[in-house]
Amino acid sequence: MAKPKSKPKSKPKSVTKAKRPAKAPALAIAVVEIDPASFPDDLRAHAIALAPLVRELRAQASKRPKQMFVGPPATRDRVQALATHYSASLLPDYTALMMLADGIRVEDSYRLFTIDELIGPKLTKRSEKLRGGYSDCLPVGLYSLSGGWLFVMAQWGEPYCEKIGGMKIQGKSVTPWLARMVKDAKKLPRF
């Protein structure tokens, strides 16, 4: 009678925990400030007027990185690509602002979209409805508490428009949005 074959004994496996790769330290992105005096002639005065507000927002964002974002400077070509994408002419102060900071967000305040967000398919599609027949109009951001949209409408007498709850609040400059962002940023708790 043949003996039943015994299963070959397996070698005991050494139990070792797989080492997780060490977490790479978060890279601090150094944003090089652009001297507003170096801006082209048609944008220089606007850049000089907006630079202190952008600088203050950057200082606040460094203390509150989870609640704020201030993008790096953009080139004029990138801002022009945005205008071409929407077939819109952009006003000099908005162009200067984007060249100082490509996108700004302050929690529970305003959010100005980055160029990549504005050119991306999601916002492009959504803005078709928002533009609703207005030519030369660009939705550039949101007021986060109410969901109101911020528009640049270059052909209007007061080309900056904030639409909140069906009401339009108009202005001549992007400065009030930035001033409000600075004020709101100072109220945020630090984490």
CA-based nearest residue to 83, from 136, 128, 44: 136
The phi and psi torsions of 40 (rounded to 5 degrees) equal -60, 155
Domains: count for the chain: 1
Q: What domain range is 84 assigned to?
A: 36-186
The pTM of this model reads 0.79
For residue 109, is it within any domain?
A: yes
For residue 25, is it within any domain?
A: no
40 in Cβ contact with 76 (< 8 Å): yes
Please count the other Cβ atoms lying within 10 Å of the Cβ belonging to residue 31. Answer: 14
- Mind listing the pLDDT tens digit for each residue in 90-143? 899 999 999 999 999 999 999 999 999 999 988 888 877 777 767 678 889 998
Q: For position 134, which CATH number holds?
A: 3.40.1580.10
User: What's the rounded Cα separation, in Å, for the pair 184 and 181?
Assistant: 5
For residue 92, is it within any domain?
A: yes
114: part of which helix (H) or strand (E)?
none
For residue 28, is it within any domain?
A: no
Q: Does the CA dihedral 187-150-171-83 come out positive or negative?
A: positive
Q: Which residues are paired to 169 by β-bridges? A: 162
For residue 13, is it within any domain?
A: no
Mean pLDDT of 12-20: 48
Least confident of 19-33, 55-69, 141-155, 156-170: 19-33
For residue 126, is it within any domain?
A: yes
Q: Which residues are paired to 93 by β-bridges? A: none
For residue 58, is it within any domain?
A: yes
User: What's the rounded Cα separation, in Å, for the pair 49 and 166?
Assistant: 31
Exposure class string for 109-128: b at 16+ Cβ within 10 A, else e: bbbbbbbebbbeeebeeebe
For residue 83, is it within any domain?
A: yes
